[in-house]
Amino acid sequence: MSSERREPQAAAAVGPAPDERLPAVLEFERRWWGAADGRKESRIRAEFGWSAARYYQVLNALLDTDAALRYDPVLVSRLREVRTERAEVRRTRRPGAAGAA
């Protein structure tokens, strides 16, 4: 019975189902593609009420869905490529090398 009480709270904490978020997140990302003006994090908070970290968690989860690829194949493919390239840089970066964070 106690698990039944937790399920609605857990569902509420997660927010809308991924298919409901998909258009809003992908349209937002399309508007910001390549922009480096530093205001994206504040717009994420204003539009979605999420931290930047949460936004990128949701975005990355959506990028792995077939629905996202069907919705905007060019954008999703580009974002997947960028994600793969960045992951490769992180994997091959040596500690203490120039540019390492």
**CB burial string 66-80: b at 16+ within 10 A, e below:** eebbebbeebbeebe
Q: Which residue has the tokens 């009420």?
A: 49
The 10s digit of each residue's pLDDT in 76-99 is 999 999 999 999 998 888 776 665
Q: To which residue do tokens 């690829």 refer?
A: 69
Q: Give the C-alpha separation, 91 to 47, whole Å.
A: 33
What would the pLDDT profile of 27-66 be if each residue is shown by its tens digit? 999 988 666 666 888 889 999 999 999 999 999 999 999 9
DSSP at 96: T
Residue type, 11: A
Which residues lie closer than 8 Å to 59 by C-beta, 6 or more apart?
Answer: 25, 29, 79
CA–CA dist 18, 34 (Å, integer) = 24
**pTM above the 0.75 mark?**
no
In this structure, which amino acid lies at residue 12? A
